[in-house]
Amino acid sequence: MNFNLTTTPEEEAFRCEVSDFLKAELNDEIRRQHAMDKGLGAEARAFNRKIGQKGWLGLGWPKEYGGSGGSLIYEVILLQEFARHEAHIPNEIARYMAGPIILHHGSEDMKKEFLHRIVAGEIEFGLGYTEPPAGSDLMAMQMQVVEKDDHFVINGQKTFNTESHYADYHWLAAKTNPEGPRLESISLFVVDQRAPGIDIRPMATLGGETTNEVFYDNVKVPKSRLVGEKNKGFLYMVNALNYERLALFQMERIFPTLNRLIQYTQKTRRNGIVLADDPLVRNKLAELVVEAEVGKCLEYQALSLLIDGRIDYEAGIVKLFGSELRQRMGYKAMEILGQFGLLEEGSAWVPLKGEISRLCRASVVDTIGGGTSEVIRNITAIRGLRLPRQ
């Protein structure tokens, strides 16, 4: 197993360039807009456009579609530096889910219409997969599509749709062959969210972010907005999952909060002693540091396999380990902080600006989005350990 991710001097120079840019351009208000609303806000939008002007949203994509070419390692470096600086990669649905599928399966007209604008940071996509009755089982979705002349008519409801409250387009999965084989029953569409018949209802989440319910009432979608072949949508989605999980669940995002927690224990006294000198506190911190380093090794192994084109279930392991570690870190940090950890941002007594309370609430969804922990464990057992399905 390869737990190292070696880089060349040119690639490290790119890392320095990204780091210097973030130090100069990133501020607390942009970070807040990234953390709470996935990049919604005037300052964050301006920041996103600067990234697009740098060409960083097209790393690894062909130049004819606005990309910068080059190897996947540059994309990895970009993700790592953004994670270290606690910055949000803009257009994450467009860049890491919709874009790669359009690039590999979309028509030439669709590529020309969307890929250049994704790379420039000009458009955002909302994610339309989950439905109320289906939960994490995408195959159980019920949104119906009827084919007419030169368009499709779509009816139904989606829920927990990321970014739909401000996105330009809906990256939509819906049933086009409900009576057919399960793996050949779903198609993907790019839907203009301003189309008549679409009703978007934002919902506040436990972690303070916004998600959405999206209702379709006889929405007409041109046939040109069908992505790839009809009824092949589920296969496209599965093939893109590895990239999505490694891009959106970066282990590096664990370390800034962990480092601030360690610094807090080194400066704070309780009952006359420094918290970091308490053996119980030290053990909790040591466990978190060790687990975070293990997570980095798992991530590097998966990234190496992805770059070599040999990845299978390993990206799911990284997502599983990282999402559950983020929850464990919140719980252990809350034990260290005691009752003050329950206070929220704005309180005069709140430690770490309420970061730990927010982490405990926001991390709940981590083990659900991108594949639930239960589903990923099943996949790992079947494809990794070769255990029987029954």
Question: How is residue 256 written in tokens?
Answer: 């800034």
Rounded CA-CA distance 94/158 in Å is 18
> Directed axis angle between helix 9-25 and helix 72-84, to 10°?
40
In 3D space, the residue among 331, 336, 324 whose CA is nearest the CA of residue 360 turns out to be 331
Residue 271 carries which DSSP code?
A: T
Question: How is residue 196 written in tokens?
Answer: 């008549």
- 186 CB burial (10 A radius; 0-12, 13-18, 19+): buried
Active site positions, annotated: 244
Question: Which residues lie below 8 Å from residue 120, measured CB to CB, with a gap of 6+?
Answer: 49, 52, 53, 57, 66
> Directed axis angle between helix 42-54 and helix 9-25, to 10°?
160
Rounded CA-CA distance 20/12 in Å is 12
Q: What is the torsional sign of CA 73, 79, 83, 85? A: positive
Q: What is the torsional sign of CA 128, 200, 147, 139? A: positive
Question: Which residues lie below 8 Å from residue 65, measured CB to CB, with a gap of 6+?
Answer: 58, 103, 111, 112, 115, 116, 119
> Directed axis angle between helix 254-267 and helix 314-337, to 10°?
20
Annotate 84-100 with b (16+ C-beta within 10 A) or e (fewer): bbbbbbbbbbbbbbbbb
